[in-house]
């Protein structure tokens, strides 16, 4: 499974990248706002830092404008994946941009039907939003499983990118289902290392070591 980091914070990306935990990065207008940086500037800095796909999102709502913005974003670096919303205009933009050989991440997917359309339009990635479905009492993980099954049924090349991840359980379930990629905030990825029994065991080891009176260095 590939790990994409859902942030525009350079320091957080760099820390995870040093450990080999970054296969790509996803950004969106909200994350750009949070970073307080210029979209072109911060996206270029991220692309220089990592080799994998970096999703940069268009903000237009009409197909022609989306395509123009997508081309502008794609000029930043070869590893840009243009992010478009799963609307009819977004699908038109996806078809045009993938036809030009660009990576496209179709985002805000909430149904299998939408995912099928994105794959037919040539999307590189489809981003189903787990957490936002959970927020309205629907099963976000069920959507990941359904898209995985349909894509496998027909041999679609579009990669399933599990998004809107809120917990480490979302990551584990996505891995079990067979999502190609997850994108999660840095704090959630780092939380995967946590377990109360690890903490308890380490505390016991340290207490016993203290009793030996020894030192390694």
**Which residue among the candidates 2, 72, 83, 200 is catalytic per the annotation?**
83
Is the pTM of the predicted complex or chain greater than 0.75?
Answer: yes
Per-residue pLDDT tens listing for the chain (217 residues): 999 999 999 999 999 999 999 999 999 999 999 899 999 999 999 999 999 999 999 999 999 999 999 999 999 999 999 999 999 999 999 999 999 999 999 999 999 999 999 999 999 999 999 999 999 999 999 999 999 999 999 999 999 999 999 999 999 999 999 999 999 999 999 999 999 999 999 999 999 999 999 999 9
Helices (H) and strands (E) in the chain, counts: 11, 8
According to the model, what pLDDT value does residue 99 have?
97
Report yes or no on 217 lying in a domain: no
| pLDDT score for 103 | 98
Known catalytic residue at 120? no
Q: How many domains does the chain have?
A: 1
Domain annotation covers residue 105: yes
Assigned domain for 179 exists? yes
> How far is residue 128 from each of residues 49, 103, 131, 198, measured CA to CA in Å?
26, 17, 9, 32
Burial 167-196 (b: 16+ CB within 10 A, else e): ebebbebbeebebbbbbbbbebbbeeeeee
DSSP string, 129-166: BHHHHHHTT--HHHHHHHHHHHHHHHT---EEEEBS--
- CA dist 26 and 163 (Å) reads 9
Q: Is residue 69 part of a domain?
A: yes
Do the domain assignments include residue 196? yes
193 within domain boundaries: yes
Residue 199, domain extent: 2-212
Which neighbouring-strand residues pair with 104? Answer: 82
The pLDDT value recorded for residue 169 is 97
Taking the C-alpha atoms of residue 103 and residue 82, their distance in angstroms, rounded to an integer, is 6
CATH number assigned to the domain comprising residue 117: 3.20.20.70
Question: What pLDDT is recorded for position 205?
Answer: 97
Query: Is the residue at 118 inside a domain?
Result: yes
Residue 144, pLDDT score: 98
d(CA 63, CA 29): 18
């Amino acid at each position: 499974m590939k790990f994409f980091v859902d942030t525009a914070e350079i320091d957080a990306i760099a820390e995870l990248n040093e450990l080999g935990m970054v296969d790509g990065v996803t950004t969106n207008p909200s994350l750009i706002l949070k970073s307080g940086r210029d979209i072109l500037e911060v996206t270029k800095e991220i692309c220089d830092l990592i080799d994998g796909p970096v999703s940069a999102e268009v903000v237009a709502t009409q197909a022609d404008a989306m395509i123009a913005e997508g081309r502008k974003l794609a000029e930043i670096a070869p590893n840009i994946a243009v992010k478009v919303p799963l609307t009819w205009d977004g699908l038109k933009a996806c078809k045009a941009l993938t036809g030009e050989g660009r990576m496209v991440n179709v985002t805000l997917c909430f149904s299998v039907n939408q995912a099928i359309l994105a794959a037919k339009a040539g999307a590189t990635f489809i981003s189903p939003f787990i957490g936002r479905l959970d927020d309205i009492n629907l099963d976000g993980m069920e959507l990941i499983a359904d898209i995985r099954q349909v894509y496998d049924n027909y041999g679609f090349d579009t990669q399933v990118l599990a998004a809107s991840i809120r917990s480490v359980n979302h990551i584990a379930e996505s891995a079990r289902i067979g999502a190609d990629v997850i994108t999660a905030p840095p704090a959630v990825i780092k939380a995967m290392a946590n377990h109360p029994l690890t903490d308890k065991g380490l505390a016991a080891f340290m207490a016993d070591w203290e009793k030996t009176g020894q030192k390694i260095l």
